[in-house]
Amino acid sequence: MINAAVGDVNILVTNNGGHSPEEWAEMATNQIIFVGGNSHPVIVDQARAFREQIHKTLVHYFTLAQEAERNALIRRT
Amino acid sequence: MAVGSTAMCDSFKVDILSGGMNFNTTNRALSANTQDVFKIALYTSSATISNTTTAYTATGEVAAGGGYATGGLATNSTWSITQVPVSTGTPTTTAYINFANASWTSATFSADGALIYNSSNSNRTVCVLNFGGTKTVSSGTFTIQMPTAGTGSSIIQIA
């Protein structure tokens, strides 16, 4: 038998503005690493720790990129 | 009236066996090596879409305006297929594809679900996505975050 499946999507909405660095980082992290539920618990723990580290790193650099863009805009005006 | 559960459309299963859906850019046996154009449309709670829906319908779709255009986003312009069909995951017995996140900016509307369909083939449906409730955006960004490409997670998988 062949099984066909549809994956889960996540909906993100904002009010009066775009996504925050944290939201962009969450989306990017989800594209980079997927932690499956069928792996050995030790592997799952390691993957989750790695995922958290990626997320923190992306938030940091996205925030820096945001600040750099704002500074560039200020210099142009 | 409502948006049905997240599911692959019944007609899609027939269409993929009939060569009516091409997510790839090469190796198509039946026609030219041209990837079909897929679209994603948003629907309100007044829509009647489910796994039995065979083609795109404008009934119950989010109204045009407020950052939304009727018919939704298309893979040949503001959206894209990020993973053409492969079976390189673990196990390799699962084939999958994936789409990019779908985003509407400067948006003001509410949506309860979405329909992915093939505008290159009579707007035949691929799958229904249920958001689990009404999602409202106001002068902001509405993003459907697609799952990670891979076995066990991708938006469309055949195992």
Tens-place pLDDT, residues B38-74 = 999 999 999 999 999 999 999 999 999 999 999 999 9
Task: Tell me whether residues A27 and B145 touch, CB distance under 8 A.
Answer: yes
Q: Is A7 on the interface with B (CB under 8 A)?
A: yes
| pLDDT over 80 (residue B23) | yes
Higher pLDDT: B111 or B27? It is: B111
Chain B: residue whose CA lies nearest to A36: B152
Beta-strand pair B7-8/B124-145 = antiparallel
Q: What is the pLDDT of residue B28?
A: 56
- The residue length of chain A stands at 77
Q: Is A11 on the interface with B (CB under 8 A)?
A: yes
| pLDDT over 80 (residue B1) | no
Best mutation target among B79, B153, B154 (most A Cβ atoms within 10 Å) is B153
Torsion sign, CA atoms B65, B71, B75, B80: positive
Q: What is the pLDDT of residue B60?
A: 97
Query: A40 burial class (0-12, 13-18, 19+ CB within 10 angstroms)?
Result: exposed
How far apart are the CA of B26 and the nearest CA of chain A, in angstroms?
Answer: 23
**Using an 8 Å Cβ cutoff, are B53 and B125 in contact?**
yes
Q: Can you read off the two tokens belonging to residue A11?
A: 């909906």
| Model confidence, pTM | 0.87
Over residues A5-45, the pLDDT tens digits come to 888 899 999 999 999 999 999 999 988 888 777 778 898 89
pLDDT band at B27 (very low <50, low <70, confident <90, very high): low
Q: What is the pLDDT of residue B117?
A: 97
> What does the pLDDT average to over B23-49?
84
Q: How far apart are CA B18 and CA B84, in angstroms?
A: 18
Q: What is the pLDDT of residue B72?
A: 97
The percent of residues above 70 in pLDDT, for chain B, comes to 95
> What does the pLDDT average to over B90-97?
83
Beta-strand pair B81-86/B156-158 = unpaired
As for the ipTM of the complex, it is 0.83
Q: What is the pLDDT of residue B31?
A: 58
The single-letter code of the amino acid at B10 is: D
Chain B: residue whose CA lies nearest to A27: B145
Cα within 13 Å of Cα(A31), Cβ side: 16
Query: B43 burial class (0-12, 13-18, 19+ CB within 10 angstroms)?
Result: buried
CA distances B11 to A50, A64, B36, B43, Å, are 40, 47, 17, 19
In this structure, of A36-40, B14-18, B134-138, B143-147, the range with the lowest mean pLDDT score is A36-40
Task: Tell me whether residues A6 and B7 touch, CB distance under 8 A.
Answer: yes
Task: List, in order, residues 6 or more apart from A11 with CB less than 8 Å away.
Answer: B131, B132, B135, B142, B143, B144, B145
